[in-house]
């Protein structure tokens, strides 16, 4: 959790969704959640890639926490460990969840008057 200039960010890094995570995050009232969406698989476990939540779990967590914005991560970085970000966007759209999908190297600027 990072707070700067009145904005609270949660960057999960490699994280699994687990019972109680939403309850741990809610008191901080994060404005922006950065959540992994690449999930896990037997193949990734064999490669010793840390497990992560998938798109469905990320959307579910975000719904429970109610941030102003969700930014998915852990996609399109490594060919052996990526997912189609459109699965996240479909689920987020269906849930009415505000999000921003960033491309590698893209600059993102949060305006104080944003959503």
pLDDT of 74 reads 83
pLDDT of 33 reads 97
pLDDT of 79 reads 67
Domains of the chain: 2-95 (3.60.15.10)
pLDDT of 114 reads 64
pTM, two decimals, is 0.89
pLDDT of 80 reads 67
Are 35 and 53 in contact by the 8 Å Cβ rule? The answer is yes
Token pair of 62, please?
Answer: 């975000």
pLDDT of 44 reads 83
Are 42 and 78 in contact by the 8 Å Cβ rule? The answer is no
Nearest to 70 by CA among 38, 104, 34, 23: 34
Q: What is the mean pLDDT of each run of 10 residues along the chain (115 residues)?
A: 94 93 97 93 86 95 97 79 86 97 87 67
């Amino acid at each position: 959790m990072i707070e700067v200039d009145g904005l609270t960010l949660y960057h999960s890094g490699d994280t699994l969704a687990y019972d109680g995570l939403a309850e741990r995050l809610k008191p901080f009232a994060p404005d922006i959640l950065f959540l992994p969406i690449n999930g896990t698989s037997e193949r990734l476990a064999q490669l010793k890639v840390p497990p992560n939540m998938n798109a469905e779990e990320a959307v579910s967590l975000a719904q429970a926490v109610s941030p102003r914005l969700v930014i998915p991560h852990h996609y399109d970085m490594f060919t052996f460990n990526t997912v189609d970000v459109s699965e996240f966007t479909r689920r987020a759209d269906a849930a009415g969840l505000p999000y921003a999908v960033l491309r590698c190297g893209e600059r993102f600027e949060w305006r104080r008057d944003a959503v």
